[in-house]
Amino acid sequence: MSWQGSLFLARFDAMASPCEILLALPREQQSLAEKLARIAAEEVWRIEATYSRYRPDNFFARLHQQAGQWQEVDAETTRLLDFADQAWQLSGGLFDITSGILRRVWSFDGSDRLPDPDAVAALLPRIGWDQVGWESRTDSLGGRLFLPSGMELDLGGLGKEYAADRALGLALQALQAALGSAQSASLPGLLVNLGGDLAANAPPSEQAPWRVGIESTAVENQAASLLELTRGGLATSGDSRRYLVCDGKRYGHLLNPKTGWPLQKAPRSVTVSAPTCVQSGLVASLALLQGEAAETFLKQTGLAYWLAA
Amino acid sequence: MMKLQRIVLLLLIGLLISGCSSWGVKPWERDLLAADKMQLISEPVEMGLDDHIYFSKEGSSGGRSFGGGGCGCN
Amino acid sequence: MSNDLDKKSLPLGTTLAALGCALLQGLPNQAQAGELENWDVDAAVLVYSESDSRVQAAEPVISATRNFDSETQLNLKLVLDTLTGASPNGALPSNQPQTFTRPSGKGSYTTDAGELPLDDTFRDTRVAASADWSAPINRDWTYSVGGHFSSEHDYLSTGTNASLSRYLNQKNTTLTLAGGLSLDSISPEGGLPVGLSSMAVPGSGSFNSDFAASRSGSEDDKLVTDLLFGVTQVINRRTLMQFNYSLNRADGYLNDPYKVVSVLDQPGGTTQGYRYEQRPDSRIKQALFGQVKYQLGSGDVADLSYRYQFDDWGLNSHTLEFKYRWDLGRHYLEPQLRWYTQSAVDFYQPYALTSQVNGGLDEVTADYRLGDFDAWTLGVRYGYQVTEGQEAYTRLSLYQQTTDDFSSSTTPASGDDLPDTTAVMWILGYKF
């Protein structure tokens, strides 16, 4: 926790990214700032611990151990799976949380090593959200999941954005409680930055927006990738450094779950600012999935966006 | 644009499948209902003006909400 | 929910907005913060113009709404209403010129033979203000409270209202119980006419004493209580329905102090004089109201509503209204159609007979608004989304009331002798 002249800055690491929490509180409220930052960071760590696919012993791992049978899931997972389900429907099946398995054959390291087409084809039967049994209860407080054996879920496409929104939300809740004010409009500005996925409730002051340096190369050729955000979310989908080049043809890292091969003519990355970080992330992903129509799609949404072609 | 239309179409199909089984929607299906134009009284100012006219020209009033009234109205 | 995405006409955008809300259930939604800092203002002016130089009105209104969070809201509204022109005074046309005492008792006005008698003294300005507050009590309950104030030179109304709503079935069903109370005081120009008393004849030797005899006091009041029970049901993602039952009770002075009744010696005969109208001192109205809203795949919205109202004065009415909002990107066009029909109250007569007034008639009105008639309104609204959150709109409508023949064995009348009303209504407004 450090004082930056007009606001507090807390740094921590989570989800394989450098993370920051910025709090526009007066200097004398350091203990409150520390409390809020701790609440936010702990929420990010909690989500990471629960849903990370890299841990052998967490909730997510147990979910996969019970593949091949119906299992009950909790309210939070229900909301996430409902969200993934809607995104899958919205994208015509292109946004698919079962497609992470393709990473076993694709590694986008800038080389020319394309995978064996047979190996790709062999994975396809294990991909497809429509093969997963999912029934959320009418009260949305739980649901039943049937994950066919051999299939894997990967919430990596929305986990970081979700964590940013949750972290901000919980910190705001605590701030409201601390200030005894129900008027969220008058709360001081907080910003959560999880490796470039941002969520903010209000600007740090009336005059100035948040200015955030984004490490991703979303905005190529712009000095230091400095973005301005007043409030809401901001997220990037795609990474212009991850690709393969073979026979002069460039293969972007975005894979079509239906073919197992990269989508053609998609922009390298899309950054979107929507009211929440999760929405920003989803719109960015959906835009990328439109291929060359990405920019038309983004214009239709009316949201602020940045493209790297 | 084509893809967008397909997305809209998919949404519609989803609706047709899920729409008839029971009344009501899930919280995330309130997108269309949330629009201003889908509020039961979508134009309160226009309704207020109409209520006032009809209150002063007809023998009935109200019913929808407590419309009209509060005037001598000749 | 209202946030930036909701304002897009794009179905995808609105779906995303709803998705984000469900996922972040229960957390203070930062997305709303931008909306919260502003007042949403809707400012409009209505110009109302009846044909044959009858009532002309201009009514500017400004309504400002502040959203504190998605369910907590304050609305303030101010209406100004300026009225000029003439209004039917209740008397029947005659084959002789007719002269009437002005309500103030000072001066008179004359209607030509064969013309519908109109009182041309109306010139009034009304100021009305209201405030309404609504907020949640907890997850399942919300309430609202409000008050209004309305003032004209001869009429003053103050009232309050409150409602309590209960959400059921994941907010797909809403039950609402609402009540209202309004206390109005009437102080007509020239004092309160004595019901069924004779209008003093202008120029007669006994005018002053006759006029004084037709007046009793200067002010009276009425108490209006409202009770409404409503059910709102979400049918599916595109369809919403509402049913209301409402009860409205008015007690006190319910006459229109400016309305008279012609007294004829016999049907189709000669006018003998005029009596001030007299209505009962209480009225209980009940109404059943239903509405369906349906959004089509194109984003168009169809809105159908029906109201059946009946009361203990014997008036029954049916109102059917249909609107179709046709979305054209940043523009929309909304044709509107309304049909209304009512039956007369039991004590309505186009005129009274000498034998009736001498024989103990205790209630009578010739106010066409309590008679038998049908009305059509045909209109079209056009709106243009200037920028996100700003809309310019206008509406033009034509209102037409037609009165049928009054069939009665004692006081029959031809519809030609009863007032019809044709009016043009024009609204111009801006939301920001």
CATH of the domain at A143: 1.10.3980.10
C89 and C211 fall within a common domain: yes
- Taking the Cβ of residue B6 and every Cβ of chain C, the question of whether any pair is shorter than 8 Å is answered with no
C5 and C76 fall within a common domain: no
C74 and C149 fall within a common domain: yes
Has residue A126 been placed in a domain?
A: yes
Contacting residues of B for C126, CB less than 8 Å apart: 71-72
**Window 23-62 of B, Cβ < 8 Å to A:** 26-28
Ramachandran angles phi, psi of C12, nearest 5°: -60, -45
pLDDT (average), residues C305-318:
96
pLDDT at C22 over 80: no
Q: Which two tokens stand for residue A126?
A: 């294990």
C218 and C288 fall within a common domain: yes
Q: Under an 8 A CB cutoff, do A274 and C30 touch?
A: no
C73 and C32 fall within a common domain: no
Whether the model clears a pTM of 0.90, i.e. scores above it, the answer is no
A183 and A69 fall within a common domain: no
Beta-strand relationship, A133-136 and C56-67 = unpaired
Q: Could you read off the pLDDT of A246-278 as tens digits, one per residue?
A: 776 767 777 888 888 887 777 878 888 888 898
pLDDT (average), residues A130-158:
85
Which pLDDT score is estimated for C121? 76
Which pLDDT score is estimated for C346? 95
- Taking the Cβ of residue B13 and every Cβ of chain C, the question of whether any pair is shorter than 8 Å is answered with no
A20 and A100 fall within a common domain: no
- Taking the Cβ of residue B21 and every Cβ of chain C, the question of whether any pair is shorter than 8 Å is answered with no
Has residue A122 been placed in a domain?
A: yes
Nearest CA distance, C50 vs chain A (angstrom): 44
For C377-389, the three-class secondary structure string (H helix, E strand, C coil) is: EEEEEEEEEEECC
Q: What pairs with residue C239 in β-bridges?
A: C236, C294
Contacting residues of B for C285, CB less than 8 Å apart: 60-62
Has residue A189 been placed in a domain?
A: yes
Which pLDDT score is estimated for C42? 95
Please give the residue range of the domain that contains residue A127: 59-154
pLDDT at A109 over 80: no
C132 and C280 fall within a common domain: yes
C-alpha dist (Å) from residue C395 to A173, A211, B61, C344, C380: 44, 45, 22, 31, 6
Q: Return the residue in A79, A82, A86 with the most chain B beta carbons within 10 A, the one to mutate for interface testing.
A: A86
Has residue C376 been placed in a domain?
A: no
Q: What pairs with residue C234 in β-bridges?
A: C240
Which pLDDT score is estimated for C427? 97
C187 and C319 fall within a common domain: yes
Ramachandran angles phi, psi of A260, nearest 5°: 85, 0
DSSP-based three-state secondary structure for A168: helix
C93 and C132 fall within a common domain: yes
Which pLDDT score is estimated for A243? 67
pLDDT at C374 over 60: yes
CA angle C380, C382, C385 (to 5 degrees): 160
Q: Which two tokens stand for residue B17?
A: 């499948």
- A136 confidence band (pLDDT: 50, 70, 90): confident
Nearest CA distance, A91 vs chain B (angstrom): 6
- The answer to whether C51 and C31 have CB atoms below 8 angstroms apart is no
Which pLDDT score is estimated for B44? 93
Has residue C74 been placed in a domain?
A: yes
C101 and C25 fall within a common domain: no
Nearest CA in chain B to C311: B60
Has residue A109 been placed in a domain?
A: yes
Has residue A46 been placed in a domain?
A: yes
A141 and A4 fall within a common domain: no
Number of structural domains chain A divides into: 2
Of A145-149, A295-299, B62-66, C69-73, minimum mean pLDDT range? C69-73
- C4 confidence band (pLDDT: 50, 70, 90): very low
Nearest CA distance, B1 vs chain C (angstrom): 12
Please give the residue range of the domain that contains residue C136: 61-332+343-368
Contacting residues of A for B7, CB less than 8 Å apart: 90-92
Contacting residues of A for C29, CB less than 8 Å apart: 169, 275-276
Q: Under an 8 A CB cutoff, do B28 and A82 touch?
A: yes
Number of structural domains chain C divides into: 2
A99 and A167 fall within a common domain: no
Contacting residues of C for B52, CB less than 8 Å apart: 59, 79, 81
Of C69, C78, C255, C23, residue with least CA distance to C154: C255
Has residue A270 been placed in a domain?
A: no
A42 and A167 fall within a common domain: yes
A28 and A91 fall within a common domain: no
| N-term to C-term CA, chain C | 18
C90 and C218 fall within a common domain: yes
Which pLDDT score is estimated for C274? 95
Q: Where do we find the tokens 């009034």?
A: C124
- The answer to whether C266 and B43 have CB atoms below 8 angstroms apart is no
Has residue A144 been placed in a domain?
A: yes
Name the more confident of C23 and C318.
Answer: C318
pLDDT (average), residues A58-71:
87
Has residue C24 been placed in a domain?
A: yes
Q: Could you read off the pLDDT of C206-218 as tens digits, one per residue?
A: 999 999 999 999 9
Has residue C153 been placed in a domain?
A: yes
Name the more confident of A261 and C163.
Answer: C163
In this structure, the number of other CB atoms found within 10 A of the CB of residue C73 comes to 16
- A183 confidence band (pLDDT: 50, 70, 90): very low
Has residue C52 been placed in a domain?
A: no
Q: Could you read off the pLDDT of C54-90 as tens digits, one per residue?
A: 899 999 999 999 877 667 889 999 999 998 888 999 9
- C226 confidence band (pLDDT: 50, 70, 90): very high
Of A239, B11, B66, B55, residue with least CA distance to C248: B66
Name the more confident of C247 and C203.
Answer: C247
Has residue C392 been placed in a domain?
A: no
What value does the mean pLDDT of chain C take? 89
Contacting residues of A for C27, CB less than 8 Å apart: 165-166, 169-170, 172-173
Of B14-23, C87-96, C105-114, minimum mean pLDDT range? B14-23
Has residue C136 been placed in a domain?
A: yes
A83 and A149 fall within a common domain: yes
A144 and A27 fall within a common domain: no
A84 and A136 fall within a common domain: yes
A35 and A169 fall within a common domain: yes
A170 and A43 fall within a common domain: yes
pLDDT at A47 over 70: yes
Please tell me which of the candidates B29, B42, B57 has its beta carbon nearest to residue C401. Answer: B57
A144 and A86 fall within a common domain: yes
ipTM of this complex: 0.89
